[in-house]
Structure 1
């Protein structure tokens, strides 16, 4: 499969003064992903502005998302670029059509904020992961309780791409 979507996003990031890099490893039919957006501070130093980590199994249809972080001083649009790039990678390089994540339950207010954020991207709540024995595998994978959410990779990509492109002129202006 071609890498047209991801190549386009990398060029857009570069023209906006940002660096987009993906680190992928393939141990034992498992893709592990770390996608990073940064900005050059000088010719040898890069400041990481945000990242997303995840994994996918070779014969699975789902991308598992774990850590998503954007620094407080990142330019507007960095989160959208990260989401669009992650989904572009999944669609172009893996059999994944869906993505899932756990909106961790640290406290009620933070959980509501996370759920609302993920729902805007197209994720829907499919299960509350709690303390039941049935939930143990989910808790081991994601490290806690929360709301298990699933979305179409193409829908998350389309939403995030629109938002990224709408904010690019603001990022370039910084």
Structure 2
């Protein structure tokens, strides 16, 4: 499973976090704990602004997926999380979990890492190598919480420039990092923590 990222977004910056929202957002330690409970060993490596996330089975000897990206500075001092690639190995088929579930774990670590470094937005390009595969990618990332912002199909001069930058055609998708973490909170927050903020709502 592959995706590419770009440098342009048409989405507004979300408002600052409220106290209630902070309670809803899972921490990196909570995400890692849930991953471990599901038989996944996830490791985050950083190289300056670049990062790589590897997911292995419970024994840690077989890689089942990986994600790579970079934290990029943007206008006005903003930082943007660029998700460059996500790959699932054939070993994933032997595990008792869906590709979406594994992708969500990799995505959660990536997004939480970006959040911790001050990023407000995540960007990607769902690459269009074939119509069937492309439609599955768009559905996959839409289900995760990303929104379509632009179709890069080569029909304009601007698209041709973008294709040179990204290496192909596809669907540009954006997401607010804070919104993603809140959306995924039911999966990663302990039940007693979820009840705390649900009772106050």
- Report the TM-score when normalising by structure 1: 0.77
Q: 1:38 Cα deviation (Å)?
A: 0.8
Q: What is the match of residue 13 of structure 2?
A: none
**What is the alpha-carbon distance in structure 1 between the residues aligned to residue 119 and residue 55 of structure 2?**
22
Q: Any idea what the Cα deviations from partners look like across 1:137-156, whole Å, max 9, x if unmatched?
A: 53234321111110111222
Question: Which position in structure 1 is the counterpart of 2:5?
Answer: none
How far 1:118 moved relative to its partner? 1.0
Question: Which residue of structure 1 lines up, in the alignment, with residue 145 of structure 2?
Answer: 122
Residue 73 (structure 1) aligns with: 94
1:1-174 alignment runs, 5 A limit: 5-26=27-48, 31-41=49-59, 46-58=61-73, 59-71=77-89, 72-76=93-97, 77-92=101-116, 94-131=117-154, 132-163=156-187
Contact kept, 8 Å, 1:80 with 1:163, in 2: the verdict is: no
Once residues 61 and 58 of structure 2 are traced to their aligned partners in structure 1, the CA distance between those partners, rounded to angstroms, is 4
CA deviation vs aligned residue, 1:27-69 (integer Å, no higher than 9, x gap): xxxx11111111254xxx6211111111112444321111112
Query: What's the Cα RMSD here?
Result: 2.4
Q: Relative contact order (C-alpha < 8 Å, sep 6+): which is higher? A: 2
TM-score (normalised: structure 2):
0.67
- Give the count of matched residue pairs: 155
User: What are structure 1's unaligned runs of at least 5 residues?
Assistant: 166-174
Report Cα offsets for 1:100-127 as digits up to 9, x if no partner: 1001111222211111111111211111
Larger radius of gyration: 2
